Chain A
């Protein structure tokens, strides 16, 4: 009779002890599985904020931004960020529809930035860039000579921006397309467009240029 009176306490102690000892195994079993696998791509301004991005661009003036890639794919990923420039009439990457069906811009890449990012990690690259360009008064257009990106000089001959009489400016976009290395495909390049891009819109100022 006396033993049965202590039964509840005894089995409670046994149960708590068993749960304590089983907790490492339970923590593995009871973890909610990851269901969303994706990549983040973003640009921050020089102060690490999502504001104050450069807009009015002067010739040969340096501007700083941060380019970031966050990997939530569940594996270490090999990315290439293609740096491209377009004026308002040139093709942009598609922004709508399912991300797998989006297509990149057909414009050539000015430079490829390689990034290897571990799972659940973020990678960030400070970028300093400046544009070298002139103003053709006869054609009323901005003609580019080069883009200096982190001390790498990129050839931009042939790139032009015409005067936008409606918005009154020479507008262009510097954009970054994200491509990913696919180990599974047997293609030669093995890089596929990852459906993501970020873009900076610029107004190329021409005061004092001719």
Chain B
């Protein structure tokens, strides 16, 4: 019985150690694979985010917004993404992931800010058009029409004065 329990305990310990080795080994494999996968996923996400932000900023700029600040943020993020690509290519997946996450983090709120600037620019452009184009065109037409009106009024008054004399 004692021998059985000793054998059983030994077998249990051996099985436990084997299990730990297998689990440990496989987790190491998974960790290495996961790090590369994580890096790849983080870089892909950062790349998409940079592209999304660029599209939003370009739209804001074409609407007439001043996007200098947003372009600075994009340039910084672009450099981080480049560093991420470089680290990934040399197999430094941890750094690659860190750079990609840093890049994505730097772009938080850029799309919203670009959209807000775009809306402001659209409104400003509308009022600019109304005042400077429509307003000035209507104003100049009004001056010409007013000139005619004044001229006819003065002419009529002169005629009526001439008739009275």
Contacts and interface: CB of A to CB of B under 8 A. Distances in A.
A and B interact: yes
Interface in A1-58: 2-3, 7, 10-11, 14, 17-19, 21-25, 28
Interface residues of B, number: 40
Contacts of A115: 75, 78
Contacts of A21: 136, 139-140, 143
B86 A190 contact: no
A28 B133 contact: yes
B85 interface: yes
A18 to B, nearest CB: 4
B137 A181 contact: no
A76 interface: yes
Interface string B52-94: 0011011001100001100100110011011101100010000
A119 interface: yes
A114 interface: yes
Which of B74, B136, B155 has most chain A Cβ within 10 Å?
Answer: B136
Interface residues of A, number: 34
Contacts of A11: 147, 151
A114 B83 contact: no
A14 B143 contact: yes
B158 interface: yes
Contacts of B62: 75-76
A154 B86 CA distance: 8
Contacts of A190: 51
B54 A111 contact: no
A152 interface: yes
A78 interface: yes
Nearest to A81: B82
Contacts of B155: 3
A61 B137 CA distance: 65
Given A18-B143, A113-B79, A181-B51, A118 B132 contact: no
B154 interface: yes
B144 interface: yes
B111 to A, nearest CB: 14
Given A113-B82, A152-B86, A75 B143 contact: no
A75 B58 contact: yes
Contact of A119 (B54, B61, B135, B144): B61
Interface in A74-127: 75-76, 78, 111-119, 123
Of residues B50, B61, B139, B140, which shows the largest number of chain A Cβ atoms within 10 Å of its Cβ?
B140
A118 B51 contact: no
Nearest to B83: A152
A25 B82 contact: no
B104 to A, nearest CB: 14
B61 A118 contact: yes
Nearest to A13: B147
Contact of A76 (B61, B133, B135, B144): B61
Given A11-B147, A116-B75, A155-B90, A181 B54 contact: yes
A2 B143 contact: no
14 contacts: A10-B147, A17-B143, A25-B136, A76-B67, A112-B82, A112-B85, A115-B75, A116-B71, A118-B68, A152-B86, A154-B86, A155-B90, A183-B58, A190-B51
Interface of A: 2-3, 7, 10-11, 14, 17-19, 21-25, 28, 75-76, 78, 111-119, 123, 152, 154-155, 181, 183, 190
Which 7 A-B residue pairings sit nearest by Cβ, starting from the closest?
A114-B78, A14-B147, A22-B140, A24-B132, A21-B139, A18-B140, A116-B74
